[in-house]
Structure 1
Amino acid sequence: MFIAFFAGAITVFHEELHTWQSPHRSVADRPLSQEADPAALDRFMTALVTAHPKSADSAYVTLPTVHEPEFTAYWQDKDGTWMTSSSTKLGAGRNSPEDTALDAIQGELAAFLNSLHYSLGVPVAGNYFMGVISVLYGLALVSGVLLHLPRLKADLFAVRHGRNLKRFWMDAHNVVGLFSLPFHLVFAITGALLCLAMVLVMVFNVLAFDGKLFEALPRLTTASPELKAAGQPAQMLPAATLMSAARASAGERFTPLSIRYQHYGDANALVEIRGDTTRALGNYGSVSVHAAAARADSGNVLADQTPQGRDANHAIYSAIYALHFGTYGDLAVRLVYLLAGLAGAFLFYSGNVLWIESRRKTHQQAQPRVHRLLAQATVGVCIGCCIGVAAAFCGALIWPEHTAGWHYFPAFFAAVAWALLRPPARAATELLTVAAIGALLVPVVNAAVTGDYLWTAALAGHWAVASFDFGALTLACGFAALALVTCRRARNGPRHSVWALPARGDPAPNKVPA
């Protein structure tokens, strides 16, 4: 859960990461906004279908934004393998299997952090695992609040300073946890539904829908049905006409973000225009339009699943996604989600620390070995995740040809191994120091590789770059402060604690004698 919350907090600004990572950019020349050019989209689709004929069956095209200033297409090859290309690759004639492989896109920093958030970076199995964890997490939230509510009501605003550090950390843990409880309930419920959606579909398919649910699934989750090609060539309506039809149906607050072309150049051609509608909880939606020209239904809207016209199923699905990722609001809402995610990560770390300490045998030199192992695992996994993410940020700029996992996992497992070889308090202090150095290196590497100095980007108004660097510096200060507090606690706290350092000449206090 620490990994999910820490990576998820950064994933809230998924799109902005594209701008931060790109090494071929100039702060002075980067546009502050960019609208998709429909004529350019028509040229892109013509080039795509010419170079990759299989993409005519079904192609997903993301439209340019300020954070990703080119068209990107995704489609399935004959054997079902997902492929990808972009306007830059098509213009340069880069159409080989190596150029169209999806590995580079999946390993790109923003995509990797998102997969780390919902599947721990482990495809398929990790997704289901996190779904089960989300269910257990929701149960723990409800039962924990019910069990501790009487005491929480009495000590809600009591964060007591003093020499009793355990009481201070307990008060801080309770206050942060209680005030962020609504967000945690939302994350637990929506996370379970998003990760276990396919499991639920398989169960309901057998129990309630007589095996017919999978056939209806495309109609229930998209605005476009799956049509068969007519086998008759036809001209396509211009993208400008298709977007105008979508906006006329969805309203002025609808902004197209991506388009799915189905049977491009066929008489049964359809497009599903997906986009964002401002001031709506379930802000993402889509409009399906008949796309073949010179037909009776040309340009007609087949289905509108945007906020003003969608059915209940699409409304619930869109609301679940928006609530989980905070896409329904502006910058202020996403900043709240960022803070809630980081606060959640702090709760899991501090909760484990307090749980272990509360089970310490007072005035007894020998402590249960399981407490020591849990303390080492807590330090290694939690702080190792922070070190790994810092390594992924730096590696994305220094070695962009490698996927982010190449940088994250070696740093993560090295931190876990180090924590298992050292006393918990010493490992925590050392790894927190490394995490502080790693976070500090993020803006330094960014400035050295791309020339995007923090103050230069800020003065130019490019906050997508400056904010990540400033956030990394803030985290570096936080890790350094935690390292100092941990070191002070290890030297001055109870000597028989798992989190204590042995005095010179004393045996280790948290090992069970042989």
Structure 2
Amino acid sequence: MKPNTLRLYQTLHTWVGLMAGWALFIAFFAGAITVFHHELHIWQNPARLEGRNATEVHVDGPAVDAFVQKLVAVHPDAAASVYVSLPSKEEPDFNAYWQDKTGAWHTMNGTALNGDAAAQRDTSLDRVTGELSAFLNSLHYSLGLGLNGTYFMGIISVLYGLALVSGVLLHLPRLKKDLFAVRPGRNLKRFWMDTHNVVGLFSLPFHMVFAVTGAFLCLSLVMVMVFNMLTFNGKLMEQVPTAIAATPEMTAAGRASPTMPAAQLLAIAREHGGERFTPEAIRFQRYGDANAVAEVRGDSERALGNGGSVGIHAAANEPNAGKLIANQTPGARDTNHTLYSGIFALHYGTYGDLPVRIVYLLAGLAGAFLFYSGNLLWIESRRKTRQAEQPRVHRLLAQATVGVCIGTCIGVALCFPAALLWPERAVSYVFWPVFLLAVGWSLVRPPVRAAVELLYVAALASLTVPLANALLTGDHFIVAALHGRWGVAGFDIGAIALAVGYVVLARATQRRAHNGPAESVWALRPATPEQAAQPALRKADAS
């Protein structure tokens, strides 16, 4: 490959990585934990605070009917279209979501619906969006910034794909020689570069999947709107519900008719979904109307696109009662649903069992490491070896990288004890102040001191996860592991492992501060002009 072409790829790889690195670190670190989304529900389950561990929950059809009938009686708007999440081990209560006539979303669970009038009127989404797993997921796909954040992360995913392609092309000529080359020693810059390249190479397939599927999931609505205007003469948007669901949007017949019992609907869905299909939710449209339909959504084990749904005509007294509208489960779905469900499963790793999800966890953490190390390597690569005072932009970039990346680690760790201490409040009330405090601290401290200090704080914050679990629930990781509750023990063990990793990084950073080049932004003290000019120091470049 020509030198000019290599330089072009290097420039593209570097600047795309710098521009997208901070956002991608947050997305990857939170996303790695979100792989265990269901286990997060178990870990935070309020029942554990009372010494009661989650057990298997069997869905009772009459209980579903009683919940929906009471919900529609209290909130008539829900009859038009309501999603009802069935009780599960992770969430042993009903949860319903619907939009009113203005388009505003509401939610209600079984406990609140059976409470007093004030509880029945409280349909706020706060207790859902502020929950631990929901917040970490929103941090992953939108940086916690809502719809605009989702679009932003879609653009970041496109840039991320460009960085991956340019990085492979850049290192391809040296691939055979340096494939397993990780050279420790005095030259720490070479060691970090080798580590960055090897980690990036071996996690490349996962990163390509993350980049492509992330861009699709975040920008799919934008692409639909563009095609709607340019190609389909404004008719595409009305087809979107059919493309992403098993039932079309129904209009009311205006004629009352009882809706089929949930037990029958679930039985029909299991029959057509196959023996591996497990219903998890039902979407009712036009409940109590002659045009009522039900979409039973669920999960199929050991399928790439494991999520699926079965659409059923649900008006009990109509000729089409119980007949299928569509079957969008694995092995029966159309091409569009196969593609969409496969993209979702590939991005979140939902198609596999525990070993697959552990691989996704490690790939996510490896990705976070790549973005952190990539920014630091760029700073050191542009260090002026004869210059005592480095450019201010390099110092600011180092400070911001330390604050954003390590601040994310601290904030996410402290969300766990916060979720146990204040289960009714949004964990974002803890994350954002902690994150901003870490960024502010890094901007007023020398980069190396901020890095060391924040890494030790991150280690302590990580240890609060098993500590809070032990003190508040008594279900610490030893007890949980002995009883086979690895969904609980895994978070405690993982937090302890991260704490050890942060301490190792802090000690390595301290050594670099004392033994590295004095003119570096990672030096403990600024270099004098005489020190910067010493050939011996330049020869012993340890960055």
Q: Same fold (TM over 0.5)?
A: yes
2:15 aligned residue? none
Q: Which region of structure 1 is more displaced relative to structure 2, 458-467 or 499-508?
A: 499-508
Match of 2:333 among 310, 316, 321: 310
Aligned mates of 2:528, 2:331 — CA distance in 1: 73
1:402 aligned residue? 425
CA spacing shift, 1:372–1:296, aligned 2, 3 Å: same
Q: Which region of structure 1 is more displaced relative to structure 2, 424-433 or 87-96?
A: 87-96
**For the Cα contact (< 8 Å) 1:58–1:260, is it kept in 2?**
yes
Residues 305-357 of structure 1 show CA distances to partners (whole Å, capped at 9, x for unaligned) of: 11121111111111111110011111111111001000100111111111111
Match of 2:207 among 184, 192, 195: 184
CA spacing shift, 1:281–1:137, aligned 2, 3 Å: same
**For the Cα contact (< 8 Å) 2:246–2:326, is it kept in 1?**
yes
Residues 441-490 of structure 1 show CA distances to partners (whole Å, capped at 9, x for unaligned) of: 11111222222222122222222211111111111111111111111111
Aligned mates of 1:365, 1:459 — CA distance in 2: 57
1:512 aligned residue? none
Matched, 1:430 2:453: yes
Query: How is 1:364-375 mapped onto 2 (pairs within 5 angstroms)?
Result: 364-375=387-398
Matched, 1:385 2:408: yes
Q: Which amino acid aligns with 1:315?
A: T
Where structure 1 has 5 or more consecutive residues not aligned to the other structure, the ranges are 510-514
Residues 251-298 of structure 1 show CA distances to partners (whole Å, capped at 9, x for unaligned) of: 111111111000111111100011111221111111100111122111
CA spacing shift, 1:337–1:507, aligned 2, 3 Å: farther
2:41 aligned residue? 18
- The two structures have a TM-score, normalised by structure 2, of 0.91
Q: Which amino acid aligns with 1:274?
A: R
Residues 400-437 of structure 1 show CA distances to partners (whole Å, capped at 9, x for unaligned) of: 33211100000000000000101111100000010000
Q: Which amino acid aligns with 2:30?
A: A
Q: CA deviation at 1:23?
A: 3.3
CA spacing shift, 1:152–1:368, aligned 2, 3 Å: farther
Aligned mates of 1:253, 1:148 — CA distance in 2: 44
CA spacing shift, 1:294–1:508, aligned 2, 3 Å: farther
Q: Which amino acid aligns with 2:442?
A: A
SS in 2 for 1:206: helix
2:176 aligned residue? 153
Q: CA deviation at 1:11?
A: 0.6
Query: How is 1:55-66 mapped onto 2 (pairs within 5 angstroms)?
Result: 55-66=78-89
Aligned mates of 2:159, 2:379 — CA distance in 1: 20
Q: Which amino acid aligns with 1:107?
A: G
Match of 1:459 among 482, 485, 499: 482
**For the Cα contact (< 8 Å) 1:27–1:460, is it kept in 2?**
no
Residues 26-59 of structure 1 show CA distances to partners (whole Å, capped at 9, x for unaligned) of: 6864244222222211111122112211111111
Match of 2:266 among 243, 252, 255: 243
Aligned mates of 2:382, 2:105 — CA distance in 1: 51
Q: Which region of structure 1 is more displaced relative to structure 2, 267-276 or 72-81?
A: 72-81
Q: Which region of structure 1 is more displaced relative to structure 2, 287-296 or 427-436?
A: 287-296
2:493 aligned residue? 470
Query: How is 1:44-193 mapped onto 2 (pairs within 5 angstroms)?
Result: 44-93=67-116, 96=119, 99-193=122-216
Q: CA deviation at 1:77?
A: 2.1
Aligned mates of 1:382, 1:31 — CA distance in 2: 34
Q: CA deviation at 1:95?
A: 5.2
Matched, 1:217 2:240: yes
**For the Cα contact (< 8 Å) 1:327–1:334, is it kept in 2?**
yes
CA spacing shift, 1:164–1:409, aligned 2, 3 Å: same
**For the Cα contact (< 8 Å) 1:27–1:462, is it kept in 2?**
no
Identity across aligned pairs (percent)? Answer: 62
How large is the RMSD of aligned CA atoms in angstroms? 1.8
Q: Which amino acid aligns with 1:49?
A: V
Q: CA deviation at 1:89?
A: 1.1
Residues 107-144 of structure 1 show CA distances to partners (whole Å, capped at 9, x for unaligned) of: 11111110100111111111111111110110111011
Aligned mates of 1:375, 1:39 — CA distance in 2: 60
SS in 2 for 1:100: coil
Q: Which amino acid aligns with 2:477?
A: L
Q: Which amino acid aligns with 2:141?
A: Y
Match of 2:294 among 242, 257, 271: 271
Q: Which amino acid aligns with 2:40?
A: L
1:351 aligned residue? 374
Aligned mates of 2:455, 2:347 — CA distance in 1: 29
Q: Which amino acid aligns with 1:283?
A: N
Aligned mates of 1:247, 1:5 — CA distance in 2: 36
Q: Which region of structure 1 is more displaced relative to structure 2, 410-419 or 42-51?
A: 42-51
Aligned mates of 2:375, 2:120 — CA distance in 1: 47
2:13 aligned residue? none
**For the Cα contact (< 8 Å) 1:56–1:261, is it kept in 2?**
yes
Aligned mates of 2:158, 2:387 — CA distance in 1: 38
Q: Which amino acid aligns with 2:72?
A: V
Matched, 1:38 2:81: no
Q: Which amino acid aligns with 2:322?
A: G
Aligned mates of 1:34, 1:354 — CA distance in 2: 51
SS in 2 for 1:60: strand
Aligned mates of 1:29, 1:439 — CA distance in 2: 25
Aligned mates of 2:48, 2:386 — CA distance in 1: 61
2:322 aligned residue? 299
Where structure 2 has 5 or more consecutive residues not aligned to the other structure, the ranges are 1-23, 533-543
Aligned mates of 1:97, 1:199 — CA distance in 2: 37
Aligned mates of 1:274, 1:312 — CA distance in 2: 18
Aligned mates of 1:324, 1:101 — CA distance in 2: 30
Aligned mates of 1:134, 1:31 — CA distance in 2: 37
SS in 1 for 2:303: coil
2:356 aligned residue? 333
Q: Which amino acid aligns with 1:191?
A: G
Match of 2:507 among 480, 484, 495: 484
Match of 1:439 among 459, 462, 479: 462
Query: How is 1:496-511 mapped onto 2 (pairs within 5 angstroms)?
Result: 496-502=519-525
Count residues in correspondence. Answer: 509
Q: CA deviation at 1:361?
A: 1.1
Match of 1:198 among 204, 210, 221: 221
Q: CA deviation at 1:93?
A: 3.2
**For the Cα contact (< 8 Å) 1:27–1:457, is it kept in 2?**
no
